[in-house]
């Protein structure tokens, strides 16, 4: 008894000594590892308050109230429980150049590059350098603010494939969005017990009192952004940005970069892929995954409303897939997320009616425009989004914004909606099944205005891995590339360039290693919805019409004889791709592959492999490149 008492009084004494107040929850009720993580980071960041999140509705309301008070969000009374955040224009996307993996050896992170050329495939930082950069940023970074401790699960709470993380952040916006994007709250702590978890530390980097005024009431420190991953310590440290993948640490940092490292070690896959189920008019259902670079159509495909009668699409996930082979050798996928952080511009009842229905409630919009009757607006939204007489205020708060103003877009091109998956009208019945859904096809794709056909199939698994490795796509607004010009065609292998957590050469070897029996590896395809004519107009209508391509893929999965060889891969035999009712489509141009294009492409891939992967590139990839070169030569 005496012992217990003295313990209690010493705990009480040390709690008094703490320079911060625990305003919600209690440290003493936490498992030792969780508690010491919070205490250790709070001692460094020096917040005024510590708030341990339980994920409840009341708590969420408190966050919303805080954000309203701080002018960080506005209400959108046209909808139900929807909010608009407008950021500092210096903080609008992921920052690729400031994202690092911290390992002892550089080669664990980055492939060997040619003659010291800067690596683009995962940026390395040494532990010493990290320590220095950390000390320049984090000590005292939360002064005057509240540190929120968010327990979250990637994947359904308690499922054997799920993984738990804890994010400490000084942004209530991050709390609100993490509650949408993950399973978050008290249940997670219960399931975790004193187990291991991924440790995320995030700060906007604007302690109080401010040394200069905020822009747009949005705290950030854009000159000092750093998103660092320390796999050896299971830690992520993110500073200076409140936006998307920089601040919602469960998403790209945890589920892709750390997920990838674990997946390599344990023989599974963590990929930047949507997961969907497609049922054809005969009632056959298949699941496919697709990897397209950021802002290249994953969300749209995952929620597609098929134009062909009798087809049904159901959504499992729109951004990240965790996949493993089961004991029968069947590849199975789960979506580790619980929400969508989707691109708003371009979304309409015509292109993505499901998303339009999804965002009518419980949604946080970021950097879209607002109508005077409390609705949202962006480029490509339906005309009736603006009620008669209503005016538009742009994301930069420019009032009376006029449609047609091209210099100042209404919404930022990377404006996003953040909405709970559970309320998506076409979620697949198995979307939370912890066994995952069986995957029968893997699709790669990108924005290729020239040269690349609408659809082709790889000759085999090894060739498919090469197709992934050789992926290129037009740069988009989803990331700040640092100097990257808008319309540049960039390499984006597996749509993972910004998300590799370890050496890309090892990543390729991992993919190649998955082929042998008992694994039944899925067929691999490549699609391109974005080919244009000389006027720059899309040759393919896209969106709901993409079901025609998925239908051909289903035929191939069923081993139907509908493909023929071309130098780039297997393409549809004439008449096998259903284009009935599409009107004037230039099929010849859509499928043409010119020898000049293919030869130039080979030169470019060769240069990239040499410069960026060099000695680390698996021999099989050089062999596939040589095969492609040979096929191009014969044309
Ligand atoms: P991230 O969330 O950044 O990973 O992007 P994503 O891959 O989910 O891309 P998303 O589906 O949000 O699409 C990005 C943009 O491409 C939107 O503006 C869409 O309207 C547009 N888009 C999507 N699918 C198609 C298509 O089939 N054809 C055309 N022309 N545009 C499309
Ligand atoms: C992407 O860029 O691929 C996204 C958005 O899905 S973010 O969460 O910001 O990474
Ligand atoms: Mn993405």
Q: What is the pLDDT of residues 225-238, one digit of tens each?
A: 999 999 999 999 99
Please name which ligand lies nearest the alpha carbon of 541.
1
Whether residue 252 has its Cβ less than 6 Å from ligand 2: yes
Is domain 340-423 given the CATH code 2.170.8.10 in the classification? yes
The residue whose C-alpha atom lies closest to atom 7 belonging to ligand 2 is: 245
19 C-beta neighbours (distance < 10 Å), count = 10
Q: What is the pTM of this model?
A: 0.96
Whether residue 294 has its Cβ less than 6 Å from ligand 2: yes
**Segments of the chain assigned to CATH 2.170.8.10:** 340-423
Which residues are catalytically annotated? 296
CB 365 within 8 Å of CB 82: yes
CB 20 within 8 Å of CB 48: yes
Ligand 1 centre to CA of 63 (Å) is 31
**Segments of the chain assigned to CATH 3.90.228.20:** 270-335+431-634
- Nearest by Cα to 13 from 2, 24, 28, 35: 28
Q: What pLDDT does 4 receive?
A: 39
Find tokens 């009842």 and name the residue. 349
Ligand 1 centre to CA of 448 (Å) is 13
Whether residue 376 has its Cβ less than 6 Å from ligand 2: no
**Segments of the chain assigned to CATH 3.40.449.10:** 21-72+95-254
The residue whose C-alpha atom lies closest to atom 13 belonging to ligand 1 is: 297
Nearest-5° angle of CA 423, CA 218, CA 46?
100
Please name which ligand lies nearest the alpha carbon of 320.
3
Whether residue 244 has its Cβ less than 6 Å from ligand 2: yes
What is the CB-side half-sphere exposure of residue 237 using CA atoms within 13 A? 27
Asked whether the bond before 209 is cis by omega within 30 degrees of 0, the reply is yes
The tens digit of pLDDT for each residue in 111-162 reads 999 998 999 999 999 999 999 999 999 999 999 999 999 999 999 998 999 9
- Nearest by Cα to 138 from 214, 51, 43, 53: 43
DSSP sequence for 274-316: EEEEEE-TT--EEEEEEE--TTSSHHHHHT---SSTT-EEEEE
Please name which ligand lies nearest the alpha carbon of 245.
2
Tokens of 60: 């969420």
Please give all residues whose CB falls under 5 A of ion ligand 3, grouped by chain where several chains appear: 294, 319
Q: What pLDDT does 421 receive?
A: 98
Q: What pLDDT does 354 receive?
A: 98
Q: What CATH topology corresponds to 270-335+431-634?
A: Phosphoenolpyruvate Carboxykinase; domain 3 (3.90.228)
Q: What pLDDT does 482 receive?
A: 57
Rounded to an integer, what is the distance from CA 298 to the centroid of its chain? 10
Q: What pLDDT does 485 receive?
A: 53
**CATH code for the structural domain at 21-72+95-254:** 3.40.449.10
Strand partners, 232: none
The residue whose C-alpha atom lies closest to atom 26 belonging to ligand 1 is: 542
Whether residue 242 has its Cβ less than 6 Å from ligand 2: no
Ligand 2 centre to CA of 365 (Å) is 14
The residue whose C-alpha atom lies closest to atom 1 belonging to ligand 2 is: 294
Ligand 3 centre to CA of 296 (Å) is 9
Q: What pLDDT does 395 receive?
A: 98
Q: Return d(Cα 162, Cα 180) in angstroms, integer.
A: 17
Ligand 1 centre to CA of 60 (Å) is 30
Please name which ligand lies nearest the alpha carbon of 94.
2
Three-state DSSP class for 475?
coil
How high is the mean pLDDT in each 10-residue block of the chain (635 residues)? 40 64 98 98 98 98 98 98 98 97 97 92 97 98 98 95 97 98 97 98 98 97 98 98 98 98 97 98 98 98 98 98 98 98 98 98 98 98 96 98 93 98 98 97 98 98 98 92 71 98 98 97 98 96 98 98 98 96 92 96 98 98 98 95
The tens digit of pLDDT for each residue in 487-499 reads 799 999 999 999 9
The residue whose C-alpha atom lies closest to atom 10 belonging to ligand 2 is: 245
Nearest atom (ligand 2) to Cα of 478: 2
The residue whose C-alpha atom lies closest to atom 4 belonging to ligand 2 is: 294
Q: What is the DSSP letter of 460?
A: S
Helix extents (H) in 46-85: 57-69
Ligand 2 centre to CA of 499 (Å) is 10
Ligand 1 centre to CA of 529 (Å) is 10
Q: Which of 94, 257, 271, 479 most suits a substitution to test ligand 2, by most atoms within 8 Å of the C-beta?
A: 94
Q: Which of 297, 306, 473 most suits a substitution to test ligand 1, by most atoms within 8 Å of the C-beta?
A: 297
Whether residue 94 has its Cβ less than 6 Å from ligand 2: yes
CB 95 within 8 Å of CB 480: yes
Task: Report CA-CA distances (Å) from 578 to 277, 315, 365, 592.
Answer: 20, 23, 37, 18
Q: What pLDDT does 486 receive?
A: 61
3-state class percentages of the chain: helix first, strand second, coil last, to nearest 5:
35, 25, 45
Q: Which of 253, 299, 319 most suits a substitution to test ligand 2, by most atoms within 8 Å of the C-beta?
A: 319
The residue whose C-alpha atom lies closest to atom 15 belonging to ligand 1 is: 295
Nearest atom (ligand 1) to Cα of 343: 12
Nearest atom (ligand 1) to Cα of 416: 2
Q: What pLDDT does 16 receive?
A: 52
Whether residue 319 has its Cβ less than 6 Å from ligand 2: yes
Ligand 3 centre to CA of 393 (Å) is 27
Nearest atom (ligand 1) to Cα of 342: 2
Tokens of 558: 């069923």
Buried b (16+ CB within 10 A) or exposed e, 376-389: bbbbebeeebbeee
Whether residue 251 has its Cβ less than 6 Å from ligand 2: yes
Q: What residues does ligand 1 touch, defined as CB less than 6 Å away?
A: 292, 294-300, 318-319, 342-343, 345-346, 351, 478, 529-530, 538, 542-543, 546
- Nearest by Cα to 58 from 34, 24, 32: 24
């Amino acid at each position: 008894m005496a012992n217990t008492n003295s313990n209690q009084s010493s705990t009480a004494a040390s709690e008094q000594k703490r320079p911060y107040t625990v305003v919600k929850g209690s440290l003493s009720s936490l498992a030792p590892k969780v508690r010491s993580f919070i205490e250790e980071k709070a001692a460094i960041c020096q917040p005024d308050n510590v708030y341990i999140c339980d994920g409840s509705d009341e708590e969420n309301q408190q966050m919303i109230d805080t954000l309203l008070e701080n002018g960080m969000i506005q209400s959108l009374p046209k909808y139900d429980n929807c909010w608009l955040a407008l950021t500092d224009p210096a903080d609008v996307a992921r920052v690729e150049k400031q994202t690092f993996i911290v390992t002892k050896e550089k080669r664990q992170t980055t492939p060997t590059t040619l003659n010291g050329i800067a690596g683009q495939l995962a940026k390395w930082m040494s532990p010493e350098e990290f320590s220095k950069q950390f000390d320049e940023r984090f000590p005292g970074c939360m002064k005057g603010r509240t540190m929120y401790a968010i327990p979250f699960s990637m994947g359904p709470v308690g499922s054997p494939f799920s993984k738990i993380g804890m994010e400490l952040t000084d942004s209530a916006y991050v709390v609100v969005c993490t509650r949408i994007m993950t399973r978050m709250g008290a249940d997670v702590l219960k399931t975790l017990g004193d187990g291991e978890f991924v440790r995320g530390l995030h700060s906007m980097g604007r302690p109080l009192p401010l040394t200069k005024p905020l822009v747009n009431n949005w705290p950030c420190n854009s000159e000092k952004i750093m998103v660092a991953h320390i796999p050896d310590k299971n830690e992520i440290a993110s500073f200076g940005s409140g936006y998307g993948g920089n601040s919602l640490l469960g998403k790209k940092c945890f589920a892709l970069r750390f997920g990838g490292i674990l997946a390599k070690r344990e023989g599974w896959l963590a990929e930047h892929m949507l997961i969907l189920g497609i049922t054809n008019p005969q009632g056959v259902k298949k699941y496919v995954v697709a990897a397209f670079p950021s802002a290249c159509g994953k969300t749209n495909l995952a929620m597609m409303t098929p134009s062909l009668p009798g087809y049904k699409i159901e959504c499992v996930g729109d951004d990240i897939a965790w996949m493993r082979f089961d004991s029968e050798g069947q590849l199975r996928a789960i979506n580790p997320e619980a929400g969508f952080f989707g691109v708003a511009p371009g979304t309409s009842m015509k292109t993505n009616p499901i998303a339009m229905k999804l965002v009518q409630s419980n949604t946080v919009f970021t950097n879209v425009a607002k109508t005077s009757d409390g609705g949202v607006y962006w480029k490509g939204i339906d005309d009736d989004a603006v009620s008669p007489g209503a005016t538009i205020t742009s994301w930069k708060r420019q009032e009376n914004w006029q449609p047609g103003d091209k210099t100042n877009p209404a919404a930022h091109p990377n404006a996003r909606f953040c909405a709970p998956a559970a309320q998506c009208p076409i979620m697949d019945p198995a979307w939370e099944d912890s066994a995952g859904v069986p995957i029968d096809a893997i699709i790669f794709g990108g924005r290729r205005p020239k040269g690349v056909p609408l659809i082709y199939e790889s000759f085999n698994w090894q060739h498919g891995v090469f197709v992934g490795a050789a992926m290129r796509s037009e740069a988009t607004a989803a990331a700040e590339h640092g100097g990257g010009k808008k319309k540049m065609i960039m390499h984006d292998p597996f749509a993972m360039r910004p998300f590799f957590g370890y050496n890309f050469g090892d990543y390729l070897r991992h993919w190649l290693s998955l082929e042998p029996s008992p694994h039944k590896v899925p067929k691999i395809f490549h699609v391109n919805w974005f080919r244009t004519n000389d006027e720059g107009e899309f040759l393919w209508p896209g969106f709901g019409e993409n079901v025609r391509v998925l239908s051909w893929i289903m035929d191939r999965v069923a081993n139907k004889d509908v493909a023929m060889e071309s130098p780039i891969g297997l393409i549809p035999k004439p008449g096998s791709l259903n284009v009935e009712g599409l009107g004037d489509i230039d099929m010849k141009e859509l499928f043409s592959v010119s020898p000049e294009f293919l030869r130039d492409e080979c030169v470019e891939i060769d240069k990239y492999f040499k410069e960026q992967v060099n000695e680390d590139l698996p021999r099989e990839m050089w062999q596939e490149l040589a095969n492609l070169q040979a096929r191009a030569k014969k044309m």
